[in-house]
Amino acid sequence: MLLPNPFCPLSAAKIVSLQATVLLLLGLLIKAKIQIKTFSALGLVLLLLQTLVFLAAGGALSLAGLAAISAGLQRRQAASA
């Protein structure tokens, strides 16, 4: 049985998107559990934290995509040489 290629851009994108989804759901669950009002200070802090987490997840997804693309290009160049 072959293991999935860790440099495949689709598998890397799936992993990062699943992590982002879990973090989104966790953030929404925390907000719902403590019943934060719209303009409360804690609500704004959690909203800012959630925004920073999604920016980090987007950056990680971009890095994973770039790494997969560069690995693919290196393999293609090695195969043609």
Residue 80 has pLDDT above 60, yes or no: yes
Q: Which domain holds residue 31?
A: 10-80
- Whether residue 36 is predicted with pLDDT greater than 60 in this model: the reply is no
Would residue 5 count as lying in a domain?
A: no
Q: Does 3 fall in a domain?
A: no
Is the Cα torsion angle 9, 12, 15, 18 positive or negative in sign? negative
Mean pLDDT (the chain, rounded): 78
Residue 55 forms part of a structural domain: yes
The model's pTM: 0.45
SS3 41: helix
Counting the structural domains of the chain, the total is 1
How far, in Å, CA of 35 to CA of 43, rounded?
9
Q: Is residue 2 included in any domain, yes or no?
A: no
Residues 76, 70: contact at Cβ < 8 Å?
no
DSSP classification of residue 4: P
> Which pLDDT score is estimated for 29?
81
Residue 19: pLDDT band with limits 50, 70, 90? confident
**Does residue 1 belong to any structural domain of this protein?**
no
Whether the predicted pLDDT of 13 surpasses 80: no
